[in-house]
């Protein structure tokens, strides 16, 4: 179910939708990726319970902003990269529908 037909979608709307979705995804997933990275770069003895140990240590030290360290470069990259990817997907779908209308 679509709110508008594929032919009426303007490129700037597609770019904005893809960029916004990618940026929101980065904002939501970034803390989990940071926990994983801290765990992977430490020795096994540091965090015996895995990522849970990393998270509990960050909570005990009151460093919640640690989860968002390095976010700025990701956000600078997120909007244009995801906008281009989404636009490329939509263009590909349009071309394939034109070439193979019966599918």
Residue 84: Cβ-neighbour burial (10 angstroms; 0-12, 13-18, 19+) = middle
Torsion angles phi and psi, residue 31, rounded to 5: -60, -40
4-13, 36-45, 79-88: least confidently modelled range: 4-13
- Residue 102 gets which letter from DSSP? T
pLDDT for residue 6 is more than 90 = no
Q: Which residues contact 17 (CB under 8 A, 6 or more apart)?
A: 86
Stated pTM of the model:
0.76
* pLDDT tens, residue by residue, 18-68: 999 999 999 999 999 999 999 999 988 889 889 999 999 998 888 888 899
Left if phi > 0, otherwise alpha if psi is -120 to 50, otherwise beta: which for 58? alpha
Taking residue 16's Cβ as centre, other Cβ atoms within 10 Å add up to 14
């Amino acid at each position: 179910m679509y709110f508008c037909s594929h032919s009426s979608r303007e490129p700037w709307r597609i770019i904005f939708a893809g960029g916004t979705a990618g940026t929101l995804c980065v904002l939501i997933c970034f803390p989990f990726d940071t926990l994983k990275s801290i765990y992977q770069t430490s020795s096994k003895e540091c965090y015996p319970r895995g990522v849970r140990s990393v998270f509990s240590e960050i909570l005990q030290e009151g460093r919640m902003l640690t989860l968002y360290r390095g976010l700025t470069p990701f956000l600078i990259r997120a909007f244009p990269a995801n906008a281009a990817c989404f636009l490329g997907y939509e263009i590909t779908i349009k071309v394939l529908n034109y070439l193979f209308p019966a599918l």
